[in-house]
Structure 1
Amino acid sequence: CLSMLTIYVGLGIIGVVANYAMIYVFEMTSENMFWGAAAKLPGVFFAIPLLAFLSARFEKQTIFVVVTAYTGVMAAMPHFLKMFDLFPPNDSPFFLLAFFGPIFLAYLVFPVAMIIIDSQLVDISDEHELKSGRRSEGIVFSIRSFANKATHGFGGLIAGFGLEYINFPEEADIGALPSEALDGLLIMNGPVYLGIYLLGTVIMLFYSIDRQRHAEILSELEARRSIDQQRQAEQTTQMWTK
């Protein structure tokens, strides 16, 4: 859960500052920015078969760590390249491909991580039921929904403080921003975002429910439920005999 919350903070940050970078650093028009949404769409259809392929071969933890790290690196790549003057000029014919190509590759697998998180929460619910004797799946996913909104908001708050820190002007003009403001936008979209995202993957390394452990949990739950059903049947029989 902590891994999920950390990643949502990163998404909250980039959700605010990414548009600033596209407009003021990369000087994109609204027509250019349309390709950002288009680049994210294919992942919705590609993620399911990819997840089926990966799930048959790897643990959920491994899939999440690799996919999340890959997504973070690819999404931050254009900003890192721009920081080190390795990105094509804004008027280059390869500009849009260089920017949205990595975004396309990132979001091609991004939904896999979100699906894995939900699957892991189900596993955690199973483990909680084994320990407490109560099924609390609804509570777990309610907390997930609340945490999603809260941490996204917290990420947006951090982004707001970041914009203040780099002295981003209230009435900014494209092409007229000071270099420290432009560099600040690149840093927030690059190192800051990627650092938080990778921290989420490191935290996920402590996730302890693998395929074997989950099978053991399900087996124990099934045995417990079978005993409970047998007891209920015996109690019902005793009531009728009385």
Structure 2
Amino acid sequence: MTETATPISAPPIKYATKLLYGVGSMAYGVKDVAFRAYLLWYYNYVIGADAAMVSLAILVALVFDAISDPIVGQFSDSLRTKWGRRHPLMYMSAIPAAASFFFLWHPPEALDGWGLFAYLAVLSSAVRTCITFYEIPSSALAPELSSDYDDRTSIASYRYFFGYLGGYGMSILALAVFLAPTAEYPIGQLNPVGYWTFGLVGSVLMFGTVMISTAGTHHRIKYLRKLPPPQRRNPLETFMLMRRTFSNKAFLAILGFGLLKYTAIGMAAALSLYFGTLFWGFDNFEMAIMSAEPLVGAVLALIFAPVIAKRLGKRNAAFWLAIAAIFLGTLPFILRLNGLFYADDDPRVLPTLFGILALYSACAISSAILVHAMIGDVIDASALKTGRRAEGLFYAANSFMQKCVTGFGLMAAGILLTIVDLPERAQPGEVDPASVDLLATLYIPSIAVLYIAGALFLHFYRIDRASHEANLAALKARDDAKRPAP
């Protein structure tokens, strides 16, 4: 029995629905920026745990969470309720995700050593697994909201925009408000109370945005595919079906790209506070301003990603945008290490760095938007070949890859910090500049090689506008042939 039934005729998706759908990504953005940029710093530099131990705990949590992704994806694809396959899981994720995020930033004071390691590993696993019950079904919902080649790029653009708004908006609040300098903590990034507030506000945002997004797309349930009950399969049959599903060469190209790219992203994000505080010498206010540059990039990507995709096609646009991103992302570090950038006390440092990195973010986010939209096109191609709709499984596999390799990026960041031997809890003026320069010197080639090598995998992605439209026509013809004559 195939599972490719065409949904009833649906009106075009409105911009309001795209906005509400995208709002839910704020929850993922809050969690993502917290794990990438703040968690390692908080447990290592503020609480005083060993950097390698903290990195290992986060890696354990990421791998544990990643294992749950295909389980949730498979379950979501197989679910049959009056609210469809996705919305029940999205609704139920809100409270546990918010609660576990809150407690992650409130560890008991008496914990240290392996006790603190266990607490961090368990709570990190809980946060990431609970948010998976929203993120995977929500991602799988995107290609069902529209099958149009360009509309999918637009939907992905809103998703990424709000993801960055949630994550970096929260980062701006943290640096400008929660971690503002006080008499007791003139370096606000070392104030533990600020991180407790971060956990509270983040948990409230998680709950609210998940509920708004889920309720905001609820009216589209009646237009989603009405699929027959899934066939019962033993574990071996399920594994073979997943293997057949993931044998799609276009999807393997996307996974290859993401495998290396997200390792680089995980490393860059984990070191962002270290570079901002120690390499560029920014204070809290300047760090807050710099935290806004990804938002500027997200706005530019929201506007330009669909335009560039129409001109070059999704694959070519994603490739060249990734190459441009890594050039812009490493350029300021290369210039500074070679004495070609402005000195720390020059007022042009902040606006120049902000402008370069905003363009970097625009390119990187646009590339990610296009790859996310490309997965929807892969799903249609796979459905034509296998006779099965597997949106949840495809997005779960992509999420699995991202989480695992982002964890390796975090681990790599911890290794670099160990190599350069930064002193624990040292104030910025107490850190040897040579150690910070060595950190940047090791960082540049690491992420450049990962990013460029990953982009080369996109050469093997061969779905363009024409082939996608041909796949949709073939799917429609097959479904029409199976309908009984009137």
Q: TM-score, normalised by structure 2?
A: 0.45
CA contact (8 A) 2:315 2:371 kept: no
Q: CA deviation at 1:179?
A: 4.7
1:45 aligned to 2:286?
no
Give SS of 1:27's match.
coil
For 2:362, give the aligned amino acid: L
1:34 is the counterpart of 2:288 = yes
Indicate the residue corresponding to 1:208 in structure 2.
Answer: 462
The runs of 5 or more residues in structure 2 that have no matched partner are 1-254
CA distance in 1, matches of 2:450, 2:329: 13
Asked if 2 retains the 8 angstrom alpha-carbon contact of 1:67 and 1:110, the reply is yes
Separation in structure 2 between the aligned mates of residue 217 and residue 168 of structure 1, nearest angstrom: 55
Does residue 99 (structure 1) correspond to residue 353 (structure 2)? The answer is: yes
1:15 and 2:269 aligned: yes
Quick check: 1:88–1:94 contact (8 Å CA) kept in 2? yes
How many Å apart are 1:180 and its aligned residue? Answer: 4.3
State the match for 2:14 in structure 1: none
Q: How does 1:1-242 map to 2 (within 5 A)?
A: 1-229=255-483, 233=484
> Does structure 2 conserve the Cα–Cα contact (< 8 Å) formed by 1:39 and 1:104?
yes
Alpha-carbon distance between aligned partners in 2 of 1:57 and 1:174, rounded to the nearest angstrom: 47
Please tell me whether the aligned partners of residues 18 and 189 of structure 1 are also in contact (alpha carbons under 8 angstroms). no
The structural deviation recorded for 1:58 is: 1.0
Match in the other structure for 2:54: none
Q: 144-153 vs 122-131, which deviates more?
A: 144-153
Identity across the alignment (%): 25
Q: Deviations over 1:6-38 (max 9, x none)?
A: 211111000111221121122111111111122
- The 2-side partners of 1:111 and 1:201 are apart by 14
Q: Which moved more, 1:46-55 or 1:131-140?
A: 46-55
Q: CA deviation at 1:167?
A: 2.0
Of 110-119 and 185-194, more deviation after overlay is shown by: 185-194
Note the alpha carbon deviations across 1:193-225, whole angstroms, 9 max, x for none.
222112221121221222222222222222222
Q: Distance in 1 between matches of 2:301 and 2:433?
A: 39
**How far apart are the structure 2 equivalents of 1:80 and 1:120?**
33
The one-letter amino acid of 1:63's match is A
Shift of residue 226, structure 1, vs aligned partner: 1.7
Q: Is the 8 A contact 2:309 2:370 kept in 1?
A: no
Contact 1:74 1:102 in 2 (8 A): yes
Amino acid at match of 1:56: K
Residues 8, 155 of structure 1: 8 Å contact kept: yes
Query: What do you get for the CA RMSD once the two structures are aligned?
Result: 1.9
Structure 2 letter corresponding to 1:131? K
CA contact (8 A) 1:27 1:175 kept: no
29-38 vs 43-52, which moves further: 43-52
Gaps in structure 1 of 5+ consecutive residues: 238-242
Are residues 22 and 207 of structure 1, via their aligned partners in 2, closer, same or farther at CA, if it must alter by over 3 Å?
A: same
**Displacement after TM superposition at 1:130 (Å):** 1.5
Question: What is the CA–CA distance in structure 2 between the aligned matches of 1:8 and 1:27, rounded to whole Å?
Answer: 27
The 1:188–1:22 alpha-carbon spacing in structure 2 relative to 1, beyond 3 Å, is farther
| CA deviation vs aligned residue, 1:120-151 (integer Å, no higher than 9, x gap) | 11111112112211111111112223332222
Question: Where does structure 1 differ by over 4 angstroms across 4 or more consecutive aligned residues?
Answer: none
Q: What displacement does 1:110 show?
A: 3.0
Cα distance in 2, alignment partners of residues 183 and 45 from structure 1 = 32
Specify the code of the residue in structure 1 equivalent to 2:269: G
With structure 1 as the length reference, what TM-score do the two structures score? 0.88
Query: Who is 1:240 aligned against?
Result: none
| Structure 2: distance between partners of 1:203 and 1:19 | 31
Q: Is the CA contact 1:87–1:98 (under 8 Å) kept in the aligned structure 2?
A: no
Letter in 2 for 1:75: G
Letter in structure 2 aligned against 1:27:
G
- Which residue identity does 1:154 align to in structure 2? F
Would you say the 8 A contact 2:308–2:317 is kept in 1?
A: yes
Higher relative contact order (CA 8 A, sep 6+): 1
- Superposition deviation, residue 119 in structure 1: 1.0
